[in-house]
Amino acid sequence: MKQDSFDPETQALLIVNPSANRGRATRVGDEIGDALAGMGVNVKKVIPATIAATRELVKEAINFETRVIAVGGDGLIHQVVQELAETQTILGIVPAGTGNDFAAELELPTKVAGIAAAVMGEPVPIDVLKMVDASGYVRFAATIATAGFSAAVNIRAEQLRWPRGSSKYTVATLMELTRLPRYQIDMRIDGDERSCICLLVAIANTAQFGGGMRIAPDASPTSGSAEVVLIHDTSAFNLLRVLPKTFSGTHVNHPAVEVIQGRKIELRMTPLDTARSCDLRADGEPVGSLPQTITVVPGGLRIAGATVANSSN
């Protein structure tokens, strides 16, 4: 089933991230490929060696008007979306990573038979975040773009050799709490200017990130707008009390938390500790430093078999 090039009969490009979820995605990719073949789908299965190779394959699929099916987690989805955003090419998602927040948001199935049917299903228009930095460089995000404490935790976790899995984010969180940096945030949200001192900001196209943290419980990727979540300056003790509540979404009731809706967010952040940088993360991936302008592109992605329960704000 693994082919070297496209042919006119190819109906779907199956891209597998072999490192996702400690190799589990490879097995899942084999199962989905077999299931699709059993359905009579002509599949081109590939295991790209690099991110660049992945993106080149997606470009080729766009040229051939071939459906793309991504087998992995949010990291693979992020890379695929860089090419698929604002095109008509359909994306099917096989949740097989450690983090599958985007797939969970879209209520995609997790069993092989259901997944195979979903990835070849009718496409649903889903919003996407478009980020443009000061040089004009463009990136896209499917879930949430964040800066401040949350981005610092992500960076710290990537530097840890131990523990492995989701536990490293808990350790990274505790490490960052001991130094808890503050940031001067200057924003323009749909033309309205706002300045404050905060611990973090999240621009949310979807409700959850970080393995189920519902940082923006009312966000919906079909609303045409984003939820801008601010956690204002507070103590490390208060933040430690707030963070567990993000898994239920009840943190939004805390006085240090503010949520604003917007379609175009111009964001600038300055660390009050000048020794720190101010990086933006999206879908858990690095997307450059601030300032950046983040705009919601309504229906900027076409996702096969998606279901969005929370479709209005």
The enclosing H or E element of 68 equals: strand 67-72
Domain ranges of the chain: 12-121, 132-298
Tokens 């130094």: give the residue.
179
Tokens 């998602």: give the residue.
93
Contact 221, 310 (CB under 8 A): no
Domain 12-121 has CATH 1.10.150.20: no
Q: Specify the 3-state DSSP secondary structure of 30.
A: helix
Backbone angles phi, psi at 92, to 5 degrees: -105, 140
Interstrand relation of 90-95 and 67-72 (parallel, antiparallel or unpaired) = parallel
283-301 pLDDT, tens digit per residue, is 999 999 999 999 999 999 9
The CA distance from 176 to 84, in Å, is: 35
246, with CB counted inside 10 A (0-12, 13-18, 19+), is: buried
92-145 pLDDT, tens digit per residue, is 999 988 889 999 999 999 999 999 999 999 999 999 999 999 999 999 999 999
The C-alpha angle with vertex 76 and arms to 3 and 27, in degrees rounded to 5, equals 55
Q: Specify the 3-state DSSP secondary structure of 110.
A: coil
Q: How many CB atoms lie within 10 A of CB 159?
A: 9
Which pLDDT tens digits describe the chain residue by residue (313 residues)?
344 466 667 799 999 998 877 778 899 999 999 999 999 999 999 999 999 999 999 999 999 999 999 999 999 999 999 999 999 999 999 998 888 999 999 999 999 999 999 999 999 999 999 999 999 999 999 999 999 998 888 888 878 878 766 677 778 888 888 888 899 999 999 999 999 999 999 999 999 988 788 999 999 999 999 999 999 999 999 999 999 999 999 999 999 999 999 999 999 999 997 666 789 999 999 999 999 999 999 999 999 999 987 554 4
Contacts 24+ apart (CB under 8 A), 149-154: 149/176, 149/180, 149/181, 149/199, 149/200, 149/231, 149/239, 150/200, 150/202, 150/210, 150/215, 150/281, 151/200, 151/279, 151/280, 151/281, 152/176, 152/181, 152/276, 154/281, 154/284
Quick one: fold of 132-298?
Tumour Suppressor Smad4 (2.60.200)
Q: For the whole model, what pTM was predicted?
A: 0.92
The encoded tokens of residue 32 equal 């989905």
